[in-house]
A = this chain, B = another copy of it.
Amino acid sequence: MTDLIMMGKEAKKAAFVLSQMSENVKNQSLMAIANQLEKQTDAILAANQKDVQNAKQQGLSEALIDRLLLTPERLKAIADDVRHVVSLPDPVGKIIDGGQLNSGLRIKRVRVPLGVVATIYESRPNVTIDVASLCLKTGNAIILRGGKETRYSNEILVKVIQQALVEAGLPQYAVQAVTDPDRNLVMQLLKLDRYVDMLIPRGGAVLHELCKQHSTIPVIVGGIGVCHTFVEQSADLERSINVIVNAKAQRPSTCNTLETLLVQESIASQFLPKLALELSEKGVKFHADSTSFSILQKMDVEVYALQESCLYREWGSLDLNVVVVKDFEQAIAHINKYGTQHSEAILTSSQQLARQFVAQVEAAAVYINASTRFTDGGQFGLGAEVAVSTQKLHARGPMGLEALTSYKWICEGDYLSRL
């Protein structure tokens, strides 16, 4: 039987040990994990096949099955990702600021690990390794809760990690997984604030809402992207097309994908036909408001009348909402009403409107003349990404290693009292 209190205690003990470890020791454990993943390929793939067979029996979609499938190549890539984490600089120990105060107190603010991180995620077994390696690099212990579809894969992956940890002289329970599919365990995990410092849900809106409603652990809400691109009338229309095609069609399942295109009325009839043909070639279907519908229905493209509910949807597919707005203010109002504070873009030649857009749009990432697809820890130069936050506390946007740290004030005196 899974005992979450016990897991919490073990995680806290492990975090205490990890927080004292040098970057070198932490890197050695990561190398050991990468090597073990490759060495134990056969066993890992066999366990993964059990998950794949179960998924097939349960009639899961091809897309879902593909997400949980491991192959020798994919496992090699995962191991290489761990080696990449070794190469990243460790933020722990970095001095943020400090100095000597008038009182004589010498003070510095130093980065420390958060402690224990928990994550609840869906069917991609690579997340198991990904999150574990980023947490270990920053000296955090981690409690993983993957989807039940990946139960056997996660069991063996965590076993392999734990073997590598012991081999490297680190505590076995620095990485633990709750693989028992009992759903009550999720509710128990959400209340584990005594042992867990941060909870990162990685999944759909329902999971995030569940965590927000019930967690007593601080939650990083994020990952839901209803992203917009506003084509303002002064934009270079020719060059806008590529940016929009990229934002919508490059990888439609991602959270930084464009879901609703806003086009200024004055250029709609000129711009939309050409754009629609290019998007249609990529397989895009349109959900058009009345003005754009009247333009698009004359074209040889798949177009539906827009329902308001679509404006709240993260399609995750080649569906695109199209809305014609009268002016800049209407575009801003639309984005701040329907957006999820993820990634929002304006295409414009006006520097003044670009500045205004940046100031008025509430979002983690705001783009001027670029595709929203750039919102990503790797693209932003963070080296890695543990999640994308769409809230404003602690971390906003792509979260790299620094988001897995806190800080401590270290104060030194010569037997100093406060006046």
* Residues in chain A within 8 A of chain B (CB atoms): 16, 19-20, 99, 101, 103, 105, 107, 114-115, 193, 197-198, 212-213, 216, 218-219, 236, 239-240, 242-243, 245-247, 250, 336, 347, 354, 358-360, 362-371, 373-375, 379-381, 391-394, 396-398, 406-418
**CB–CB A360/B101 < 8 A:** no
Stoichiometry (number of copies) = 2
- Asked if B379 and A409 sit within 8 Å, CB to CB, the answer is no
Query: Contacts A243-B415, A374-B418, A415-B240 given: A379-B20 contact, CB under 8 Å?
Result: no
B413 x A369 contact (CB < 8 A): yes
Contact in complex: B406, A239 (CB < 8 Å):
no
The reply to whether A366 and B408 form a contact with Cβ atoms under 8 Å apart is yes
| A213 CB contacts on chain B under 8 angstroms | 216
Of B236, B242, B360, B415, the contact of A239 (CB 8 Å cutoff): B415
Beyond the given pairs A197-B391, A369-B415, 13 more chain A to chain B contacts, judged by CB atoms under 8 angstroms and listed by A's residue number, are A105-B374, A115-B362, A197-B393, A218-B218, A218-B393, A236-B415, A367-B411, A369-B416, A371-B418, A374-B411, A393-B394, A394-B394, A396-B409
Pick the 10 closest A-B CB pairs, nearest first. Answer: A370-B413, A246-B417, A392-B406, A239-B415, A373-B418, A394-B394, A370-B416, A365-B409, A368-B412, A393-B394
A415 touches B242 (CB 8 A): yes
Whether the Cβ atoms of B397 and A409 lie closer than 8 Å is: yes
Q: Within 8 Å CB of A193, what residues of B?
A: 212
Chain B residues with CB under 8 A of A115: 362, 392
The residue that A392 contacts in the complex, of B114, B212, B379, B414, with Cβ under 8 A, is: B114
Q: How far is the CA of A245 from the CA of B418 in the complex (A)?
A: 11
Contact B418 A380 (CB under 8 A): no
Check B250 against A418 for contact (C-beta < 8 Å): yes
Complex Cα distance A367/B212, Å?
Answer: 35
- Given A20-B360, A239-B415, A417-B371: A408 in contact with B380 (beta carbons within 8 A): no
Shortest CB-to-CB span from A248 to chain B, Å, is 11
Quote the shortest CB–CB distance from A258 to chain B (angstroms). 12
- Distance, CA A245 to CA B415, complexed state (A): 12
Assess the B393–A393 pair: CB atoms within 8 A.
yes
Chain B nearest CB from A10 CB (Å) reads: 15
Bound Cα distance from A14 to B365, whole angstroms: 22
Q: Which residue of B lies closest to A115 (CB)?
A: B392
Q: Which residues of B contact A20 (CB under 8 A)?
A: 359-360
Which residue from chain B places its CB closest to the CB of A250 in the assembled complex? B418
Which residue among A99, A394, A418 has the maximum number of chain B CB atoms within 10 Å of its CB? A418
CB distance from A139 to the nearest CB of B (A): 11
Contacts of A243 in B (CB 8 A): 415-417
Which of A103, A105, A193, A392 has most chain B Cβ within 10 Å?
A392
Cβ-closest chain B residue relative to A415: B239
A261 to B156, CA, bound (A): 47
Minimal Cβ-Cβ distance residue in B for A368: B412
